Structure 1
Amino acid sequence: MPEFSIIVPIYKVEKYLNICVDSVLRQTFNDFELILVDDGSPDKCGNICDNYESSDSRIRVVHKNNGGLSSARNAGLDIATGKYIIFLDSDDYWDDNTALIHIHNNLAETDADLLVFQAKRFYEDANRFTYILNIEVDRNRIIDTNANSAIEYMLENNIYRAAAWNKVIRKSVLDEHQMRFKEGYLSEDMDWCGDLLVYCKRFDFYDFPLYVYRQQRSGSITARKSEKLVFDKLFMCQKGYRQAMALQKEDKDKADLLAGYYAYEYSVLLGISGGIKNKDLLAELKKLEILLDYDICRKVQKVNQLKRIAGFSLTRIALCLFVRIKK
């Protein structure tokens, strides 16, 4: 059993694939398997994967018909043998050759089920980097053996977000709860990360921004805001709210934290809903505004305060304008 299974879903990223794979192979910690999932890519990605596999025994390649990001990640999970799972998107890369050894040492110390690590955005057109987290993180608050206290600290400071690629997850947790990504949806990370908050018992953090997240690449999901994206995010928020309410009797504190996690994602959803004209979809969006009352995150607190003063419609408009300006 290798320490880490690193899963890379691959589709039409011929330009970036070598940068991604090489950033893993440069790691000073060698106890890992690298699973490259060729999701029916029509370019030369499949051949590139095969060349890597033939040159390094740690690399395993899966060739499959195109099924989307969730399907590719699930195919990797199905054959992974590592103690911990890490996802790396194929147009992104790691910028820290010593990351795995430090993460290994952290996990040896805490025996955490889930570790979150730092990341930075790369704006390719402008050749510019920005940090995703701009605060000094107190790791001692995250490795607290009281899971709810650790979660509250992460949510309050917007450290824990709906991204599969900035986490290291104990595989036995995924196996025990038969966790897989929902296929056919955008924002498939959202309920996956929500479930991890429920199932994981101990957390950890690695502060160096090892992950480089390529922003607004032409053809990428993040560059295609659409009605489907809003619909899928809304579906995930609705599902998460129902899950939190069902958890109330069993663990009210955990239920409130789960709702707080989805409250931030709901705030993001409001901000990207600017171009939506579907009245039924907008009505469903408004029905879920109760999520904003679970304002554990400081950013959600500001949104909730604005909603109380200006009302739902003006708050949504303000958030949409903020998103446009931020671009």
Structure 2
Amino acid sequence: MNQPTRIHRRTLLQAAIGLGASLSLPAVVNAQGDAARGPLKIIVPLPAGGAADATVRAIVQAYEKQTRQVAIVDNRPGGVFQIAMQGLLAAPPDGQTLIHLNTGMVAAQVVQKRFDLTRQLAPLTLAGETSFMVVAAPDSPFKTLKEMIEYGRANPGKLSFATPGPGSGEHLKIAQLEKAAGFTGLAVTYKGGPDMIKAVVGGEVSFAIIPPVLAMQFAPKGQVKVLATLDGARVTPQFPDAPTMAELGIPMAPTRFWGGFAAHADTPAPIVQRLSQDLGAAVVAPSVVERMATMGLTMQASKPEEFRKVILGDVAWMTEAAKGLKFE
């Protein structure tokens, strides 16, 4: 990964000074969005080894192969995504430092109100999506989502559910389900998806929403009941019998959890367009698509404005879902 910076021959000034000095100068941008290119740094606001990290590293490999440019993954977890955001905002807005976004960051924006993804950042492209399933404990007293809702209505507060934390995307989605279906549950916090599904399997909580890749590890053995999908269509071929919310008559817009890339909001438009195209091509590279399919991710690139609309759409429903909730 430690390769020398590519230097355009025509840029005599940059050829005469070292990399450290050149990074302190404003980027020189031409009409095609070309700039002095050092290694591209992508900040990931989550720990190494997780699904987001694996996705970004697969995309980076394709990006390097396609563009012949070096890219570095910089994991900066913690601070409810603020450490990563601060790292991006402190870097020059030259397109050399990017950040990997996820649905959870929208939830943090809505609940914490310490950053604004569409005002402080320039969205570049989506980089993967996944459905989420409603799964219940194997010994739960209900077999369908309708029965679960009826149980929740009849037993306020007794229907417990797992989340990765108060105000997380999963928490807000279940809050939306509670309001749409008319029941009240009890949120229980776990470290992440693996711990959440184990809690459901062990009967510690009544249900959770998790991605299909986790459900597939337990549902075939009868360790969880798959009750429904939050997607707009049934998840096939894995869970063809799990109905959508629309099919159940529950007034909730379809939801997919996603990842994507963004730059500093002050990044020049030509660079934003070039990065969107280059990263978008890497996102849908066959090697990436095949590898991420094993993790239950659908790789989908987008134009900057399309990605911005996705973020704003999530801000809207999460803001509504968060009304009346108290977060410690």
TM-score bracket, shorter-length normalisation: under 0.3
Q: TM-score under structure 2 normalisation? A: 0.25
Q: Which has the larger radius of gyration?
A: 2
Larger relative helix fraction: 1
Q: Which structure is richer in relative contact order (CA contacts within 8 A, separation 6 or more)?
A: 2
Q: TM-score under structure 1 normalisation? A: 0.25
